């Protein structure tokens, strides 16, 4: 139960990010509205990541225990790098179009 409100909030933010990305996919990138919406996405994303890394993950650690072997941290960092590379690739592809 401890952490459930935060988990619900996190799920809501994930949905909000998905919705904004769908809107962006349907908009013309050359429009001023697209850039405004993208800035909103960037703000919501940064806020979400900060909350997860500074609050949610700490509560999860308390609930499930420490990562004595570093396995969870290693997997997280690996996945994070993979996701960032995908973002960079998609950004480059979008700029080329």
Cα angle 48-91-29, degrees, rounded to a multiple of 5: 95
Strands (E), 3-60: none
Per-residue b or e along 63-92, where b marks 16 or more CB atoms closer than 10 Å to that residue's CB: eeeeeeeeeeeeeeeeeeeeeeeeeeeeee
pTM: 0.65
Check: CB of residue 24 under 8 Å from CB of residue 37. Answer: yes
Kindly report, residue by residue over 43-81, the tens digit of the pLDDT: 999 999 999 888 888 877 777 777 788 888 889 889 989
Q: What is the pLDDT of residue 66?
A: 76
Kindly report, residue by residue over 19-36, the tens digit of the pLDDT: 999 999 999 988 889 999
Q: Both tokens of residue 51?
A: 């909350």
Check: CB of residue 6 under 8 Å from CB of residue 59. Answer: yes
Cα–Cα distance, 39 to 24 (Å, whole number): 11
Kindly report, residue by residue over 86-96, the tens digit of the pLDDT: 888 888 887 77
């Amino acid at each position: 139960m401890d952490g459930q409100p935060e988990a619900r909030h996190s799920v809501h933010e994930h949905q909000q990010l998905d919705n904004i990305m769908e809107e962006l996919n349907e908009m013309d990138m050359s429009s001023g509205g697209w850039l405004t919406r993208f800035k909103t996405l960037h703000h919501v994303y940064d806020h979400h990541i900060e909350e997860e890394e500074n609050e949610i993950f700490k509560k999860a650690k308390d609930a499930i225990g420490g990562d004595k072997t570093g396995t969870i941290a290693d997997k997280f960092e690996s996945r994070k790098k993979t996701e960032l590379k995908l973002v960079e690739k998609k950004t480059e592809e979008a700029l080329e179009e």
